[in-house]
């Protein structure tokens, strides 16, 4: 005697109840015949219909987000804290909701009141990251229209220091931290790439640094992108500074903790960067709309190379940028760059002033000629 087992909803209960339905004697029936009988019983009970395509997900948004972080997030991005931070912000808004309840209407109602973990308003770029992660976690949002918020925090610009300010920073820095700042300035590496650098990646003979990995929050992982994996030639002075810092050590991370693990960016920023900036007299150099951190030295490196005539392709390959468009965002920060650009841009007001000045000089010259001729005639008479 065969029986069909199925689950059904019961009013007033949170969990489904299992039921059974007798299929009769199945002795001697082929697999196709049994399947036909089973489908007929399902149709008779009305527990399933072929027209039903979208089966509701039993997961909450928090469960779906955790699965996405664990299994679906690309391996290259798993060691970065950005995705985890964004997901944590989304969980505070949608974590308790069923996954299918996170619709475009719900997101549009929320996005105007979205807040970061510290309670501040996110910038427009951060909101784009929120929406892009929502679309990845909840596939039903991929084709949905999500409106841009009316109000959001302005995007902060990376402050690019001048040559004198970089010199003051290096003078105020001491020990291993000075070597780290030298590497950021002279190679243009990201701070994560410096913290993930191992001694084996430094060619002390040919003065070449191989950038193969990065370290974020003390965890080692791949570089930010494929273009970020590269070889960078540096000056001998930087290699000598690294050798002096290593003191004969031939393995492990170049900059490491007492336990031999990669250093954390946040600890370096709080314990050393702020003190060094204050000692150099640059504590209040950046405005409220700017950030002056380790990435500022990368901007300085890019702007310095462009300022001194390095070709765009060489700058892009050296600093590991994916495209020239991204790299061009750095150029406006180079000291004197705007003046050199404006020198090649037409200025009608200057042309008009020059034209009027020439006209005045010509009129004065003509008047002087008439005056000279009149004087000559009067003396002759």
Is residue 64 within 8 A of residue 57, CB to CB? The reply is: yes
The count of residues in the chain is 381
Q: Evaluate whether residue 289 is within a structural domain.
A: yes
Q: Are residues 220 and 309 in the same domain?
A: yes
Q: Are residues 284 and 360 in the same domain?
A: no
Report in angstroms the alpha-carbon separations of 331 from 213, 299, 340, 363.
26, 8, 12, 46
Q: Are residues 180 and 272 in the same domain?
A: yes
Q: How many domains is the chain built from? A: 4
What is the token pair recorded at 27? 């002795």
179: number of Cβ within 10 Å: 21
Q: Are residues 195 and 319 in the same domain?
A: yes
Q: Are residues 128 and 241 in the same domain?
A: no
Q: Are residues 101 and 129 in the same domain?
A: yes
Q: Are residues 171 and 110 in the same domain?
A: no
Three-state DSSP class for residue 255: coil
Each of the 381 residues of the chain gets a pLDDT tens digit; together they read: 788 888 887 777 777 788 888 888 888 888 888 888 888 888 788 776 555 555 566 778 999 898 888 888 776 666 667 788 888 889 988 988 888 888 888 888 888 788 877 777 788 888 888 888 998 898 888 878 887 766 666 667 888 888 999 999 999 999 999 999 999 999 999 999 999 999 999 999 999 999 999 998 888 888 888 888 999 999 999 999 999 999 999 999 999 999 999 999 989 999 999 999 999 999 877 777 788 999 999 989 988 888 888 888 888 889 888 666 666 666 554 555 556 655 666 767 655 554 555 555 555 565 555 445 455 444 444
Domain that holds residue 198: 158-337
Q: What is the DSSP string of 8-58?
A: E--TT-SS-EEEEEEEE--TT--HHHHHHHHHHHHHHHTS--TT---PPP-
Q: Are strands 157-158 and 290-291 parallel, antiparallel or unpaired?
A: parallel
- CA distance from start to end of the chain: 146
């Amino acid at each position: 005697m065969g029986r069909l087992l199925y689950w059904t909803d019961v009013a007033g209960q949170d969990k489904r109840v299992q039921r059974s339905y007798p299929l009769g004697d199945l002795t001697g029936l082929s697999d196709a015949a049994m399947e036909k009988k089973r489908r007929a019983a399902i149709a008779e009970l009305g527990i399933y219909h072929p027209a039903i395509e979208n089966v509701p997900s039993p997961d909450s948004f928090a469960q779906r987000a955790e699965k996405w972080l664990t299994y679906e997030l690309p391996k290259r991005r798993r060691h970065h804290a950005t995705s985890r931070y964004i997901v944590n912000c989304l969980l505070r808004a949608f974590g308790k909701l069923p996954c299918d309840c996170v619709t475009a209407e719900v997101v549009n109602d929320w996005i105007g009141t979205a807040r970061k973990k510290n309670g501040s308003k996110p910038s427009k770029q951060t909101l784009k990251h929120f929406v892009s992660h929502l679309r990845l976690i909840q596939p039903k949002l991929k084709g949905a229209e999500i409106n841009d918020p009316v109000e959001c925090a302005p995007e902060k610009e990376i402050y690019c220091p001048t040559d004198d300010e970089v010199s003051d920073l290096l003078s105020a820095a001491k020990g291993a931290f000075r070597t780290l700042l030298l590497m950021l300035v002279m190679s243009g590496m990201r701070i994560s790439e410096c913290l993930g650098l191992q001694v084996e990646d430094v060619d002390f003979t040919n003065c070449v640094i191989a950038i193969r990995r990065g370290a974020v929050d003390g965890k080692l992982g791949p570089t930010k992108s494929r273009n970020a994996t590269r070889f960078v030639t540096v000056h001998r002075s930087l290699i000598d500074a690294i050798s002096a810092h290593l003191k004969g050590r031939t393995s492990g991370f170049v900059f490491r903790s007492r336990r031999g693990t990669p250093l954390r960016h946040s600890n370096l920023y709080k314990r050393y960067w702020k003190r060094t900036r204050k000692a150099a007299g640059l504590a209040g150099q950046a405005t409220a709309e700017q950030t002056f951190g380790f990435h500022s030295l990368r901007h300085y490196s890019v702007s310095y190379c462009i300022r001194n005539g390095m070709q765009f392709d060489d700058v892009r390959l050296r600093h590991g940028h994916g495209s020239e468009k991204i790299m061009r965002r750095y150029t406006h920060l180079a000291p004197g760059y705007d003046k050199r650009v404006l020198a090649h841009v037409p200025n009608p007001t200057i042309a008009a002033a020059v034209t009027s000045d020439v006209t005045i000089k010509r009129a004065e010259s003509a008047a002087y000629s008439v005056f000279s001729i009149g004087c000559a005639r009067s003396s002759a008479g």
